[in-house]
A and B are shown apart, each in its own frame.
Chain A
Amino acid sequence: MALPIWLFILASVIKSGILLFVLLTAVAYTVWLERKVVGHMQNRWGPTRVGPFGLLQPAADGIKFLFKEDLTPPHVYKPLFIAAPLIAVVFALTSISVIPFGNDVTIRGYRIPFQITDVNTGLLLILGVTSIGVYGVALAGWSSNNKYSLLGGLRASAQMVSYEISLGLSLVGVLIMAGSFSLRDIVDAQSGYFWGFIPRWNIFSQFIGFFCYLMAAYAETNRIPFDLPEAETELVAGYHTEYSAMKFAMFFMAEYANMITVACLATLLFFGGWHSPFGEQAWLQAHGAPGLLLALLPVFWFAAKIVIFLFLYIWVRGTLPRFRYDQLMAFGWKFLLPLALVNLIATAIAVAW
């Protein structure tokens, strides 16, 4: 049964509020996780002072960002200088809205999807929103009126436009197999098990696509080894050199929110979304487990997969050095793009068979 319109709006507002809160908290704690994990990889402790295990460090950081002096250098182009971090963070947060986190929930006969909105072309919407997000970085670089910032902004936009092609193509294989753009349909196509125990996830048939996606995703989120737009050794801090206080924090929020979105997409497209790798859902249902547990278990699996992806991100950051810029471009255009194309053609042939 579909919801009446006012209930629908109320449910959407509540869901948006919850999701925004969870996402921002997740962003803050991804920063904590990164500092902690990279610290341990480098034989340091990472944050330890604020709270147990430094767990309150994100809160302290947030307060510090809020109360620091917000400096606007006199030589910047002010309207765009202020708009750029807003663009970056708004579009980074928007793209999460079509991501489904679990099965539909039924409350008093009303079916409420476990996501803000389920649109037919959800995947395309995410790609579109992220492609608009490039402007935040590019405009920040340009409006700062600083050579290093400009170079950072140019690098970022060139890199993101180049890798967007590979990113899009790497996903087409999954789309062909699922036959739909809707993220919910794509996840549902991955339910079930091969021979009763190996989950029917796309990673097994689309591992080349997954490899392309992973590489392109690192480049799209400007993470090491592709963090050329903010390469400290060359560009001071790249596009956000001139930013301070909350505006600076906004770029970081955008970067980490993008990381989470990319991890969500990887989970949905290649790792079966909220489906458990063990198949205990059916067993629990048969043995009369409480409904709340059944509703929350998929969310747990989804979150667990995302945390694994975030850990992978941090692991790579702690391991690999930065590429050179020409290597980055050559890798994107001469290796990744042909590979994604070959994967697409192979998948199409296999499906048509």
Chain B
Amino acid sequence: MSVHLILFLAFGAVCVAGAVNLLAQTHPINSALSLIAVMAALAGEYLLLGAEFVAAVQVIVYAGAIMVLFVFTIMLLNAGVEERTKGSRVAVLFGIPGMLLGSILVGWVVLRHSGTEAVVAGALPGDPKIIGQLLFHEFLLPFEITSVLILIAIMGAVVLASKPATSPARKVE
């Protein structure tokens, strides 16, 4: 077994264990922390593929910034331990078979239509220069559309967070 394979399995195990723990934990902050572990393990997998830049960004943006906001919210709301319910019967009856069927379908389509070779370890261009060229040459339009999308989300957040306008009509009430 090569070092790469051992590391791949190790990171994969951490990833899956974190994801299972995320569901099993009853306290939201523990769930959030296991999600961070999942993100960090994913960054390790990217690193193994040779995508250093993506790995670093994964840690900085997801594990470092977005999850901080998750934890922040949980801390602010001081959310307690979640209530355990038996769950709905519909979910058990249709959800699990549906999910299995869906994942089998997706797996089949992916295996069928991509040339089934696995990505070789270290094969991805990790160089930020190449990523920059791809982003700003070939995928410029999707990139710009995404930025507009994010701008809309920011504006929405500002509108939702700002104090309600004190119109004279409301003051009369």
Q: Which of A80, A154, A158 contacts B29 (CB 8 A)?
A: A80
Distance in Å: Cβ of A314 to nearest Cβ of chain B? 28
Instruction: Report Cα–Cα, A125/B60, bound state, in Å.
Output: 8
Q: Mark A197-237, 1 if CB is under 8 A from B, else 0.
A: 00000000000000000000000000000000000000000
A161 lies within 8 A of B75 (CB):
no
Chain B's nearest CB lies how many Å from the CB of A211? 23
In contact, A154 and B76 (Cβ under 8 angstroms): yes
Query: Could you tell me the dominant secondary structure of chain A's interface residues?
Result: helix
Please, what's the 1-or-0 string for A124-146, where 1 marks a CB less than 8 Å from any CB in chain B?
Answer: 11011101101100110110000
Shortest B56–chain A CB gap in Å is: 4
Counted as pairs of residues, one from A and one from B, with CB atoms less than 8 Å apart, the total is: 74
Tell me the minimal C-beta distance from A122 to chain B in angstroms: 10
Question: Please, which residues of chain A bring their CB within 8 A of the CB of B36?
Answer: 132, 135
Name the interface size band of chain B.
20 to 34
Could you tell me the dominant secondary structure of chain B's interface residues?
helix
B128 in the interface (beta carbon within 8 A): yes
A157 within 8 A of B: yes
Contacts of B33 in A (CB 8 A): 80, 135, 139
Q: Cβ of A161 and Cβ of B57 under 8 Å apart?
A: no
B60, A127: Cβ atoms under 8 Å?
A: yes
Choose one: A142, A164, A181; the contact of B65 (CB below 8 Å).
A164
Q: Are B68 and A121 in contact (CB under 8 A)?
A: no
- Beta-carbon contact of A158 and B59 below 8 Å: no
Task: Flag whether A120 is at the interface (Cβ < 8 A).
Answer: yes
* Shortest distance between the CB of B31 and any CB in chain A (Å): 13
The reply to whether the CB of A76 lies closer than 8 angstroms to some CB of chain B is no
A121-B128, A132-B63 known; A161 vs B68 contact (CB < 8 Å): yes
A150 CB-CB contact with B under 8 Å = yes
13 contacts between A and B (CB under 8 A): A80-B29, A124-B52, A128-B56, A128-B64, A129-B59, A131-B60, A132-B40, A139-B29, A142-B29, A142-B75, A160-B68, A161-B69, A168-B60
Residues of B within 8 A of A (CB): 29, 33, 36, 40, 43, 52-53, 56-57, 59-60, 63-65, 68-69, 71-72, 75-76, 126-128
- New A-B contacts (20) at CB < 8 Å, excluding given A124-B57, A139-B33, A153-B75: A119-B52, A121-B53, A121-B56, A127-B60, A128-B56, A128-B60, A128-B63, A132-B59, A132-B63, A134-B68, A135-B36, A138-B72, A139-B29, A141-B75, A142-B75, A157-B71, A157-B72, A161-B69, A161-B72, A181-B128
